[in-house]
């Protein structure tokens, strides 16, 4: 039997399913955090659901939307709209602050916002690197279409295909869509690998995966994925790190004392600010 992880669901102004980290599985490859956001509708003429400025260290955020849009702003001065199918990678490194807000046109049209947000722990040699930001529109990312489905390769390599997204470490992130009755054979790879069923039904080598659960699978052999009702599947993986990663609030590091320093810096507002933003999320008690 494979390891299957049930999400923790909470409401932060919109529904979020927290899959990683969990007591069963701390990380999958370099991924230490995985959230499935929404779908959620946001009232017109309000800021409900906006994520105010908050800090990160030691990680790279990865944002991918199924529907709706976000407006990203950060302390590097980057302003970028995130639309469905695009990939945003923000390298926090030594420290960055960003906000994510719901655009007015999405609120006005009452369009649902849904997507995946993940954090990749950075390699120990770059966890204090200068912050950086990369945006890849959907048109720049490879798509394999086959009878009954399609595979969007967002980060890393799968089979003979490679994504142009460069994260500086061996990583895999893809989204598979299957029509009712369709199947797809996932090729073997290296490192860790896991499947998250965002919607629909899925069996992995005949083993059922419940909706909104994560299955950690054997990456060393091919696996047959089949769906009776249709499915949207998030595939993540990569080489695990030899060092332990610590996570507190929005901070990740190999050194607990570095996290304590980041907490003190945020409390004292020593992080660089997001231009044009005056709000912020206080350090939790």
Q: Answer whether residue 138 shows pLDDT above 90.
A: yes
Q: What is the pLDDT of residues 85-123, one digit of tens each?
A: 999 999 999 999 999 999 999 999 999 999 999 999 999
pLDDT beyond 90 at 175: yes
Q: What's the pLDDT score for residue 126? A: 96
Cis bond leading into 21, ω under 30°? Answer: yes
Whether residue 248 lies inside any domain: the answer is no
Residue 163 reports pLDDT greater than 90: yes
Residues in Cβ contact with 120 at an 8 Å cutoff, skipping those fewer than 6 apart: 30, 31, 32, 59, 60, 62, 167, 169, 171
Please count the structural domains in the chain: 1
In a domain, 247, yes or no: no
Residue 202 lies inside a defined structural domain of this protein = yes
pLDDT in tens, 191-233: 999 999 999 999 999 999 999 999 999 999 999 999 999 999 9
Note the pLDDT of residue 11: 81
Of 170, 189, 89, 97, nearest to 135 by C-alpha is: 89
In this predicted structure, the answer to whether residue 237 has a pLDDT above a threshold of 90 is yes
| Amino acid 10: pLDDT | 87
What pLDDT, in 10s, does the model give residues 33-85? 999 999 999 999 999 999 999 999 999 999 999 999 999 999 999 999 999 99
**Residue 168's pLDDT band (cuts 50, 70, 90):** confident
Has residue 106 been placed in a domain? yes
Q: What average pLDDT score do residues 134-144 get?
A: 96
Under the banding of pLDDT at 50, 70 and 90, the label for residue 159 is: confident
Q: Measuring CA to CA, how many Å separate 77 from each of 2, 41, 146, 282?
A: 44, 28, 40, 21
By the 8 A CB rule, do 266 and 55 touch? Answer: yes
Q: Tell me what percent of the chain is helix, strand and coil, each rounded to the nearest 5.
A: 10, 50, 45
261: in domain: no
Higher pLDDT, 12 or 215: 215
Q: Residue 38: inside a domain, yes or no?
A: yes
CB-hemisphere CA count at 13 Å for 86? Answer: 16
CATH number for the domain that contains residue 118? 2.60.120.10
pLDDT for res 46: 95
The answer to whether residue 178 sits within a structural domain is: yes
Mean of all residue pLDDT scores within the chain: 95
pLDDT at 1: 59
| Max CA separation in the chain (angstroms) | 56
- Nearest-10 Cα torsion for 271, 277, 279, 280: -30
Tell me the C-alpha distance between 233 and 253, whole Å: 29
What band does 167 get if pLDDT is binned at 50, 70 and 90? confident
Rounded to whole angstroms, how far apart are CA atoms 185 and 191?
Answer: 18
Torsions phi, psi for 7 (to 5 deg): -75, 160
Radius of gyration over alpha carbons of the chain, in Å?
18
Picking from 31, 102, 95, the residue whose alpha carbon sits closest to that of residue 65 is 102
Range of the domain at 223: 3-238
Q: Quote the pTM value.
A: 0.95
Half-sphere exposure of 55 (CA within 13 A, CB side): 25
pLDDT at 155 over 90: yes
Question: What proportion of the chain, given as a percentage, has pLDDT over 70?
Answer: 100
């Amino acid at each position: 039997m494979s390891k299957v992880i049930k999400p923790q669901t909470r409401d932060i102004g919109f529904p979020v399913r927290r899959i990683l980290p969990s007591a069963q599985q701390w990380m999958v490859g370099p991924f230490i955090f995985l959230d499935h956001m929404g779908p959620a509708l946001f009232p017109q003429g309000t800021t409900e659901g906006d994520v105010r400025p908050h800090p990160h260290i030691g990680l790279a955020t990865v944002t991918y939307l199924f529907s709706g849009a976000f407006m990203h702003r950060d302390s590097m001065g980057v302003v970028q709209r995130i639309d469905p199918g695009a990939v945003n990678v923000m390298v926090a490194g030594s420290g960055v602050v960003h906000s994510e807000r719901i655009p007015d046109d999405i609120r006005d049209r009452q369009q649902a916002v849904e997507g995946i947000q993940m954090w990749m722990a950075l390699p120990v040699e770059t966890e204090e690197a200068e912050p950086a930001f990369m945006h890849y529109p959907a048109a720049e990312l490879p798509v394999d279409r086959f009878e009954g489905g399609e595979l969007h390769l967002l980060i890393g390599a799968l089979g003979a295909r490679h994504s142009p997204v460069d994260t500086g470490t061996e990583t895999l992130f893809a989204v598979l869509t299957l029509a009712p009755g369709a199947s797809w054979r996932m090729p073997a790879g290296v490192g860790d690998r896991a499947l998250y069923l965002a919607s629909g039904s899925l069996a992995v080598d005949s083993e059922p995966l419940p909706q909104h659960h994560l299955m950690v699978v054997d990456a060393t052999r091919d696996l047959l994925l089949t769906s009776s009702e249709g499915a949207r599947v998030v595939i993540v993986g990569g080489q695990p790190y030899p060092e332990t990663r610590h996570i507190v609030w929005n901070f990740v590091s190999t050194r607990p004392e570095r996290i304590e320093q980041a907490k003190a810096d945020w409390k004292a507002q020593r992080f660089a600010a997001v231009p044009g933003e005056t709000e912020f999320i206080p350090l939790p008690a």
